[in-house]
Amino acid sequence: MEKKTVLEALKTLRESQKKRNFSQSADLIVNLRDLDLKKPEEQVDIFAVLHHHTGKKKKICALVGPELMDEAKANCDKAIMVDDFDTYAKDKKLTKNLARQFDFFIAQANIMPKVAAAFGKILGSRGRMPNPKAGCVVPPKTALKPLYEKLQNTTRISAKLSPMIQVFVGKDTLKDEEIADNIIDIVTQLEAKLPKGKNNIRNAFVKFTMSKAEKLV
């Protein structure tokens, strides 16, 4: 995908819509083709790292043992000690609230069985379980600040049931160059995952919350 094409589409969107009194989201929509999503190897589930912050802060919770507790408290939005896991395991409402509040969960690798037992049913059903693909399962001695910062620019791209992806790429307060870079990042990483690369992409669009969709390919 050519960056020039994305910039022209964003310019058209901005010029064609009324001025809003709120910040809109920019979304990338990609329709896929020639995939058998019943086959795990043809499903899409990747964590794309973007060039630019989207303008929306990602909230991150750490599920840790004593080795990482101080590090997690210093660098994450919430840290839950392994000794407190039973409280969440016994209270589904508490765990559901946790799943709604946080975008990513980091877990200490050597206590993953306890994480799965306490949080797996609820976090798993919402796609929130700590995922090694995103670097979210970590050793007991890890500097969490670099991971926290990386996750701020990380977005999940998933197509497991339907051959359509819609992903947030930035607030409309970002420069068009920044939104375009994020779109290119996602499309490039998506093409690298697809069995036939760009030939598995039927078409792609960009839109703001209150705008029509502008075709990219």
Task: Kindly tell me if the per-residue pLDDT of 17 is higher than 90.
Answer: no
Longest dimension (CA), the chain: 55
The confidence score (pLDDT) of residue 20 equals 85
Residue type, 171: K
The full set of domain ranges for the chain reads: 3-54+153-215, 60-146
Could you give the percent of the chain with pLDDT greater than 70? 100
User: Tokens at residue 88, please?
Assistant: 């969440």
How many Cβ atoms from other residues are within 10 Å of residue 18's Cβ?
Answer: 6
DSSP the chain: --HHHHHHHHHHHHHHS---SSPPEEEEEEEE-S--TTSGGGSEEEEEEPSS--SSPPPEEEEE-TTTHHHHHHHSSEEEEGGGHHHHHH-HHHHHHHHHH-SEEEEEGGGHHHHHHHHHHHHHHTT-S--GGGT-EE-SS--HHHHHHHHHTEEEEEESSSSEEEEEEEETTS-HHHHHHHHHHHHHHHHHHSTTGGGGEEEEEEEETTS--EE--
Q: Give the mean model confidence (pLDDT) for residues 11-26.
A: 91
Task: Give me the pLDDT at residue 18, please.
Answer: 84
Per-residue pLDDT at 73 exceeds 90: yes
pLDDT over 90 (residue 207): yes
pLDDT at 179: 98
Q: Is the pLDDT of residue 19 over 90?
A: no
CATH code: domain 3-54+153-215 is: 3.30.190.20
Residue-level pLDDT at 209: 95
Q: What is the pLDDT of residues 128-182, one digit of tens each?
A: 999 999 999 999 999 999 999 999 999 999 999 999 999 999 999 999 999 999 9
**What's residue 188's pLDDT?**
97
pLDDT over 90 at 21, yes or no = no
Unique residue bearing structure tokens 């200490």: 108
Model confidence pLDDT, tens digit, residues 91-116: 999 999 999 999 999 999 999 999 99
Q: Is the pLDDT of residue 62 over 90?
A: yes
Q: State the pLDDT at residue 48.
A: 97
Q: DSSP letter for 82, please.
A: G
- At 84 the pLDDT is 97
Which class in CATH covers the domain with range 60-146? Answer: alpha beta
Average pLDDT, the chain: 96
> Whose structure tokens read 């995908």?
1
